[in-house]
Amino acid sequence: MIEKIAKMLGEVEALRAESLDEIEALRIKYLSKKGEITALMADFRNVPADQKKEIGIKINELKNKALEKINALKDEFAVAETGNDDLDITRTAYPVALGTRHPLTIVKNEIIDIFARLGFSLAEGPEVEDDWHVFSSMNFAEDHPARDMQDTFFVEAHPDIILRTHTSSVQSRVMEKQQPPVRVLCPGRVYRNEAISARAHCFFHQVEGLYVDENVSFTDLMQVLLLFSKEMFGEDTQIRMRPSYFPFTEPSAEMDVSCTLCKGKGCAMCKGSGWLEILGCGMVHPQVLEANGIDSTKYKGYAFGMGIERIANLKYQVKDLRLFSENDKRFLEEFEAAN
């Protein structure tokens, strides 16, 4: 039997095949239930006791060699089929690394989720806009600094076409087409003609909200923003309003939240004040309502807007705004746990 095993081992090592069908025929010939190696194993019971150990080892070696040879033929055929002669079939199969959501997307989705639970629906608009929707419909004066080229990107061939400087243009488009009640949230990318630095960029992301209906008050605005702040930064978060000015709201305010790091006690992040500015807001100016076809004697509204980068900075203490747009894999991998 030892000679028979040796002869069959030589046959196995010399196996060749030109197709998958031939490979399968070889597998059946040697390794199937009625194959030659299986027959050898069946004859093993007739081997003298003093030879069983040696012959048993050789039969196992023969079976393993046959398996390896047939698998090798299958791999060679697969390489020939694909034409990829450089494929290293012995290389470790590393798992494919999964991507993660961008930190700005994580924060944007969280903001949207909070306001969706308050009844706000999403609205979107074009990033390349006309002067009317960005400025005129929002009550910007003809000589307002925002209309100057040092603040806004203009399309050279069309002086009335610009890259939107805020997502308020989406609010204008919604009010043109829809009579109150209007309750929308407008996320999107905006552009400002600013020098790129750790604290500023020529493009960034905003989320603006608009609510127009009868009997809307500033108190309603404060309550919505207080609820948002507690949901975003924690139940202990406090807010405060400071008088400000925006062409499209009257009265207008800047809103601060108690510092997320020191909880209002004062630290380097809040410069010892205990407060951090996060957004601007106010009651929609009557002229904005009228310009967009809404009766200001019957309806009132409030609006607010915040930078998504600003909120992300407060949540994750990112000190350089440029990191959000550089696609550094090391930076993005830090947010895997937040997905």
**One domain for residues 259 and 117:** yes
Low-confidence ranges of the chain (pLDDT < 70): 78-88, 92-93, 95-96, 146-150, 157, 337-339
**One domain for residues 66 and 127:** no
CA end-to-end distance (rounded Å), the chain: 64
Give the pLDDT confidence score for residue 125 in this predicted structure. Answer: 92
**One domain for residues 196 and 290:** yes
Give the pLDDT confidence score for residue 82 in this predicted structure. Answer: 57
Give a yes or no: residue 35 inside a domain: yes
**One domain for residues 206 and 278:** yes
Please name the helix (run of DSSP H) or strand (run of DSSP E) that holds residue 88, with its range, or none.
none
234-245 per-position pLDDT tens digit: 898 999 999 999
Taking a C-beta distance cutoff of 8 angstroms, is the pair 313, 192 a contact? no
**One domain for residues 278 and 249:** yes
**One domain for residues 276 and 322:** yes
**One domain for residues 71 and 138:** no
Give a yes or no: residue 97 inside a domain: no
Give a yes or no: residue 166 inside a domain: yes
Expressed as residue numbers, the domain containing 160 is 103-338
Give the pLDDT confidence score for residue 226 in this predicted structure. Answer: 96
Whole-prediction pTM: 0.67
Q: For residue 170, give the nearest of 133, 205, 140, 137 by alpha carbon.
A: 133
Give the pLDDT confidence score for residue 146 in this predicted structure. Answer: 65
What is each CA distance from 242 to 78, 253, 266, 278, in whole angstroms? 71, 5, 19, 12
Give a yes or no: residue 217 inside a domain: yes
CATH of the domain at 163: 3.30.930.10
Tally of domains in the chain? 2
Give a yes or no: residue 96 inside a domain: no
Give the pLDDT confidence score for residue 252 in this predicted structure. Answer: 95
Taking a C-beta distance cutoff of 8 angstroms, is the pair 116, 227 a contact? no
**One domain for residues 11 and 43:** yes
